[in-house]
Amino acid sequence: MPSIKDLAKREAKFVSGHRLCPGCGAGVVARHVMLAIDKPVVVGCATGCLEVSSTIFPYTSWATPFIHSAFENVAATISGAETAYRTLKKQGKIDKDVVFVAFGGDGGTYDIGLQSLSGAAERGHKMLYVCYNNQAYMNTGVQRSSATPRGASTTTSPAGKVIPGKVQFSKDIMSIMVAHYIPYAAQTIPGRWNDLVNKVEKATNADGLSFINVLSPCRLGWPHKPELAMEITRLAVETCLWPLYEVIDGKYKLNYKPKEKKPITEWFKLQGRFAHLLKPGNEHLLESIQQEVDRRWENLLKKCETN
C-alpha cells in the first residue's frame, strides 16, 4: 500500500473547483478513491450531490474520462462501458489496462439503483462500485432513504409530535451484496484514509464487481459542524454503528475492533437529526436503537469468527 506521501505525489484525477459543501464527505471519498487507483480510470456517477457539484458545464473536476447518465443506473451504464472496453481490447483497438469505477449515493444504491447494481453484480462486470453513503437523499433536500438510520429526522421522516423521525432501521446493503457472491465487499470511512485506500486497492484487483460502502457525512443533512466531518465518521466506528470490515470471496474479516464500545448517544449528540432523541421521554427509543446496533455488531462478530 502506498504511503500518504506517495499518494500526495500522485496526479489527482478528482481535482479542486467542485462545488461540494465544506465538510462534505463525498469530495474526500472521491479524491481518496481516485488517488488509490494508479491506472487509467473511467468514472461513472449516479445523479446526486457528487455528480451535480463536480460537473457544472463547462467545468469539471474529473481529470479522467467521466460519464453520468441518470440516477438509478450507474451500474448498468458502467456495465456498458466496461463491456465496450473488453471487446475493443480484444479487437486490438485499445491496449491500456483500464479500471472502471461507479459512484452512487445511498439513494442511487440502496433504493432506486438496487436493480441495476444487482444486475451488474450478477453479470460480474469488472468494476468498483462505491456507495458514498450519507444516509438520505441529500441532493434533493434530505429525504429519508432505506439507508437512513432509525430515529433520524429527515424532511420525509420528520420528527413530529407523534412520530419521532424515521421508524425503520436501515437496510443491510452489505449482506445483499455479499449474497451476490461478489469477490470483494467492504465497509469503510473517509476518516481513516489508509483503510479506505487499502480497500480500494483490493477492490480494483478483484475479478468481478466489487463493492465499497463508505460513510459520508453531510453537514447540511445530518447536520454537523463542518470541521467535525472526519471525526464523526471515526466515532461511527467507535460506537459500532459503522464497523470497518471486508468480505473477501465470502469470508468476513473485521478490520478494527474498538477497545471500548462507545454508546450510540456519543455519535447522536454531534448531529442535529438526532437531537429530538436526546430529549427526556425518548429513552426507550435510544434503547431500541442501541439494542439493534448491538445485535448487528454481534452478528458481524459471529460472521467474522466463523471464518
Partner 1 sequence: MSIRVAKTGNEAFAEAMRQINPDVVAAYPITPATEIVQIFSQFVADGIVKTEYIAVESEHSAMSACIGASAAGARTMTGTSSQGLALMWEMLYIAAGLRLPIIMSVVNRALSSPINIHCDHSDGMGARDSGWIQIFSENVQEAYDNIIQAVRIAEHPDVRLPVMATTDGFILSHCLEVAEFLDDDVVQKFVGDAPHRPNILDFENPITLGALDLQDYYFEHRRQVAEAMSKSIKAIDEIASEYEKLTGRRYDFFETYKLDDAEYAIILIGSTTGTAKDVVDELRSKGKKVGLMKIRVFRPFNYLKVRKALENVKVLGVMDRADGLNSFCGPLYSEICTSLYEANNRPLLMNFIYGLGGREVKEEDIENTFEHLFRAGKEGKTVNTVYIGVRE
Residues in contact with partner 1 by CB under 8 A are: 40, 42, 44, 51-52, 55-58, 60, 62-70, 72-73, 76-88, 90-91, 94, 96, 98, 115-116, 118-119, 122-123
Residues 51, 255 contacting (CB under 8 angstroms) = no
Q: How far is the CB of 113 from partner 1 (least distance, A)?
A: 10
Q: How far is the CB of 81 from partner 1 (least distance, A)?
A: 4
Residue 123 DSSP SS3: helix
Q: How far is the CB of 41 from partner 1 (least distance, A)?
A: 9
Q: 121 φ, ψ to 5°?
A: -65, -45
Choice between 100 and 245, CB closer to partner 1 = 100
Does a cis peptide bond (omega within 30 degrees of 0) precede residue 58?
yes
Q: How far is the CB of 22 from partner 1 (least distance, A)?
A: 20
Q: How far is the CB of 137 from partner 1 (least distance, A)?
A: 17
Q: DSSP character for 206?
A: S
Give the C-alpha separation, 288 to 151, whole Å. Answer: 10
Residue 32 grid cell: 481518496
Residues 100, 42 contacting (CB under 8 angstroms) = yes
Choice between 51 and 195, CB closer to partner 1 = 51
Element (H, E) at 287: helix 283-306
Choice between 44 and 183, CB closer to partner 1 = 44
Choice between 100 and 242, CB closer to partner 1 = 100
Choice between 13 and 144, CB closer to partner 1 = 13
Q: How far is the CB of 25 from partner 1 (least distance, A)?
A: 20
Choice between 1 and 63, CB closer to partner 1 = 63
- In 220-282, where does DSSP find H-type helix? 229-238, 264-268
**140: region left, alpha or beta (phi > 0 left; psi from -120 to 50 alpha):** alpha
β-sheet bridge partners, residue 104:
131
β-sheet bridge partners, residue 137:
143
Choice between 73 and 134, CB closer to partner 1 = 73
What is the amino acid identity at position 64? T
Give the C-alpha separation, 155 to 139, whole Å. Answer: 12
Q: How far is the CB of 104 from partner 1 (least distance, A)?
A: 13
Burial per residue of 53-72, b for 16 or more beta-carbon CB atoms within 10 angstroms, e otherwise: bbbeeeeebbebebbbeebb
Choice between 82 and 246, CB closer to partner 1 = 82
Q: How far is the CB of 101 from partner 1 (least distance, A)?
A: 12
